[in-house]
């Protein structure tokens, strides 16, 4: 990164200190100290739809892959409504939210974690306008005290890889 005469001298010194091309050896030494991770498969949760684990533990952190609303026994999606030709014509967000919560709990338990250890949840909804109120009501059943609930971000998206209306991406802190 070229440094020009227009940059404040204090900033110029800081830029020289963080220039990764000069500060890091080619062996990627910056990975030293990163704890090893362990992948987790939960037999009580639906199988992932791709080549990834249900969760990965890295030090005190448990990172869950996106968890959807499929029934682990049948692979059915609770609350989906189909027409006579089998086309999806609607869904019940409350039924799917209950199922996704059960699936998250199954992965947490398989990981040796508890519901109370969730610290952050990202929620993906395929119909934000139509589903937010129903999903939010079910969320409050599982997390009745906002002071104890995990942080939450809810995003409206156009589709998920299977015909589900909700998916959760969770992080739990398991302690030292």
> Would you say residue 30 lies in a domain?
no
Strands 55-58 vs 37-40: parallel, antiparallel or unpaired? antiparallel
Q: How many domains is the chain built from?
A: 1
Containing domain of residue 139, as a range?
A: 35-173
> Would you say residue 86 lies in a domain?
yes
pLDDT tens, the chain, 176 aa long: 444 445 444 444 433 344 444 454 445 454 555 567 888 899 999 999 889 999 999 889 999 999 999 999 999 999 999 999 999 999 999 999 999 999 999 999 999 999 999 999 999 999 999 999 999 999 999 999 999 999 999 999 999 999 999 999 999 999 86
> Would you say residue 113 lies in a domain?
yes
Q: Which pTM was predicted?
A: 0.79
Residue 39 burial (CB count, 10 A)? 11
> Would you say residue 16 lies in a domain?
no
């Amino acid at each position: 990164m070229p440094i020009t005469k227009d940059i404040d001298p204090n900033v110029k010194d800081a830029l020289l200190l963080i220039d990764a091309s000069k500060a890091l050896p080619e062996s990627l030494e910056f990975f030293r100290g990163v704890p090893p991770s362990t992948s987790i498969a939960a037999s009580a949760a639906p199988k992932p739809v791709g080549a990834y684990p249900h969760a990965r533990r890295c030090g005190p952190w448990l990172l869950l892959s996106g968890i959807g609303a499929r029934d682990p026994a049948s692979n059915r999606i609770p609350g989906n409504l189909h027409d006579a030709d089998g086309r999806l014509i609607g869904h019940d967000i409350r039924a799917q939210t209950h199922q996704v919560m059960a699936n998250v709990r199954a992965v947490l338990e398989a990981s040796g974690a508890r519901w109370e250890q969730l610290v952050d949840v990202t929620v993906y909804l395929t119909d934000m306008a139509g589903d937010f109120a129903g999903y939010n009501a079910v969320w409050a059943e599982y997390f009745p005290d906002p002071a104890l609930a995990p942080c939450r971000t809810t995003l409206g998206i156009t589709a998920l890889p299977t015909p589900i209306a909700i998916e959760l991406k969770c992080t739990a802190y398991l302690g030292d």
